[in-house]
Amino acid sequence: MRVTAEQIEALNPWFYVHDLGHGLKTTPLIPPHVAAIHDTRLEMVETAVRAHFGSRASECDCLDIGCHEGYYALAMERLGFKVKGVDAREENLIRARFVAEAQGSHVTYRQGRVENLIADEGRAWDLTLFLGLLYHVEDPMLCLRQVSAVTRELCVIETQVVDEVEGFAEWGSRDWTRPYQGIIALVDESGEFEAGIRETGVTPMATCPSPKALRFMLYQAGFRRVDTITPPPDAYEQHARGKRVVCAAWK
């Protein structure tokens, strides 16, 4: 399908840069220096995916959880995967389907929530993507167990993280204590949520893990191995400073 500038503008605001052919591209709402996050995230995701699947990609399938406008779903299709995208917001999927049609993509999309993946999918996927979503959900452990259950081989997770907190907690008595490391920070996204910003979760309550908390939760969710992907030399500043991380988690 050949699109027009008027059709693209009618779907503003966009969150990603999509090449729609014939010199037409979408312009994201976020500033260019922040939009660079998408390039770094994609490079790190592709590093993990290529290392695991190699030439098998064309024989495998992928579920992009929280697919938004389909930016990463389309990237996985270009690597050879058969891809399905899931997102909670129909307004995101309208844009995703528009881009897919313009690019001649075969990616399929449906509306759904990460909290219901097991019931809705009823199957496992060779590769799952869980990008930029964990720190927006209200129940991170529920969500990670759902993601693990629909992952056959590899899941790539990208999330904002908070600083570590360590110490000792009383555990039934002043004299009985347990060491703790890692933390989940509760973040109030009410302002953005009530303003209808599409990049929030489906409730105003967000939960952001520290790196150690993230690893612990991934193992508890059922992944047997978790590696943190090293950012590239020209990484987006948050990835470079460790304030955002990309993890590869294997079943």
pLDDT above 70 as % of the chain: 100
Place of tokens 């660079």: 36
Are 19 and 71 in contact by the 8 Å Cβ rule? The answer is no
CATH fold of 5-160+210-250 = Rossmann fold (3.40.50)
Q: Count CB atoms within 10 A of the CB of residue 164.
A: 12
Backbone angles phi, psi at 53, to 5 degrees: -90, -30
Q: What is the pLDDT of residues 2-26, one digit of tens each?
A: 889 999 999 999 999 999 998 999 9
Domains of the chain: which residue ranges? 5-160+210-250
The token duo for 204 is 């105003």
Are 115 and 73 in contact by the 8 Å Cβ rule? The answer is no
pLDDT of residue 73: 98
Q: Which amino acid is at 192?
A: E
| Segment (H or E) for 249 | strand 244-250
pLDDT of residue 208: 97
Q: Is the pLDDT of residue 200 over 90?
A: no
pLDDT of residue 159: 98
What's the average model confidence in pLDDT over 104-123? 96
What mean pLDDT, rounded, does the chain reach?
95
Decide which of 33 and 249 is more confident: 249
Distance CA 66, CA 117 (A): 11
Q: Tell me, letter by letter, the H, E, C secondary structure of 143-160.
A: HHHHHHHCEEEEEEEEEE
Q: Is the pLDDT of residue 32 over 90?
A: no
Q: What is the pLDDT of residues 210-235, one digit of tens each?
A: 999 999 999 999 999 999 999 999 99
What's the average model confidence in pLDDT over 90-116? 97
pLDDT of residue 85: 98
The token duo for 71 is 């930016």
Are 132 and 222 in contact by the 8 Å Cβ rule? The answer is no
DSSP conformation class of 99? H
Are 213 and 157 in contact by the 8 Å Cβ rule? The answer is no
The token duo for 69 is 């406008």
What's the average model confidence in pLDDT over 40-58? 97
Distance CA 1, CA 102 (A): 5
Kindly give the residue spans of alpha helices, DSSP state H, lying in 59-152: 71-79, 90-103, 117-121, 140-149
The token duo for 189 is 């996204």
Place of tokens 């259950």: 149
Residue 128: partners with Cβ closer than 8 Å, 6 or more residues away = 62, 63, 64, 65, 147, 150, 151, 154, 155, 156
